[in-house]
Amino acid sequence: MGLFTRATSRRPAAPAQSLNASDLPPGTVLGGVTLARALGRGATAVVYGGIDAATQEARAVKVWLPTPGDNADDASARERFLQEARQAAALAHAGIVRVFGSGSQAGLTFIVMELLAGSTLARYVSTEHRLPEPLALDIAAQLAGALAHAHRQGVVHRDVKPSNVLFDLATRRAVLTDFGLARAPDAQASRSGVFLGSPVYMAPELLAGQPPDAQSDLYALGVLTYELLAGRPPFEAASMGALLRSVAQSPPPSLASLRTDLPPAAAERLERLLAPLLAKQPAQRPADGQAWAANARQTVQWLMSAANATNAG
């Protein structure tokens, strides 16, 4: 909190007045939060850190960026952004980012959220920064529980991927963010169709035009978990067409072939755990993320016991 206090004390807090969303100065006030500095930038939003004037607690404020060249008042883009606030605010779970409010002010559209420590899981899906297998599975179990909660509330995330998960290595807490594409399973599909999401993480049935549901979210979780374990996604290709054909038709490479450092029994156990999530047919995937999370935690215990036995020997 000291960082935000020092940053905002340089000038009196002032309301936003015809400001550039991508470069808001310290002291700008949005939704009752006095902003300090930008914490991260994406194609559609900038996240600022700040202090809630009423509670003096640290907050994150996500400010929408209209797409360059498009109408700044594009109703569908703004609606997708605010959808994130409505969907996440209705969900109360330790594995889902907490939303405190949203709105528009001085031409800026924003969401006030819990300020989370750590970095996105995108940092840990490469061979150089790969996490230990028990920790990778613990993260996946946390996310499976978060998805189970969202699905019970009738919310499908639709864009589960490493960059939409924040992970704090110190506390080992994983939090699902970015509910901008989330919607009820029976909601009308967007005009942009399936490619509003990320093709690498899309279940085969989505590529065939079927609507997203809990099983397609769990497939994406399977891809994410595979990536954490293997250091690469299950399907890679030089072109979009080849990638989509692989997702629809090909089995993923075995972990044993990619992780020759793993004992064969461990690689086989991990593959058995992932297989239901990565099944081509939705009916073959787990009905509920909570049950899969329990299996993942059992596998964590098995891996740790096997490692202890190896070290003792």
Q: Which two tokens stand for residue 226?
A: 């595979």
Q: Which two tokens stand for residue 252?
A: 């993923």
159 is catalytic: yes
Choose, from 23, 70, 74, 159, the residue flagged as catalytic.
Answer: 159
Q: Which two tokens stand for residue 189?
A: 């599909």
Torsion angle of the four alpha carbons 309, 138, 293, 118, in this order, in degrees rounded to the nearest 10 = 180
Torsion angle of the four alpha carbons 210, 91, 52, 162, in this order, in degrees rounded to the nearest 10 = -50
3-state secondary structure the chain: CHHHHHHHCCCCCEECCCCCCCCCCCCEEECCEEEEEEEEECCCEEEEEEEECCCCCEEEEEEECCCCCCCCCCHHHHHHHHHHHHHHHCCCCCCECCEEEEEEECCEEEEEEECCCCEEHHHHCCHHHCCCHHHHHHHHHHHHHHHHHHHHCCCECCCCCHHHEEEECCCCEEEECCCCCCECCCCCCCCCHHHHCCHHHCCHHHHCCCCCCHHHHHHHHHHHHHHHHHCCCCCCCCCHHHHHHHHHHCCCCCHHHHCCCCCHHHHHHHHHHHCCCCCCCHHHCCCCHHHHHHHHHHHHHHHHHHHHHHHHC
Class of residue 238 by CB neighbours under 10 A (exposed 0-12, middle 13-18, buried 19+): exposed
Amino acid, single-letter form, for residue 54: A
Which residues are part of the catalytic machinery?
159
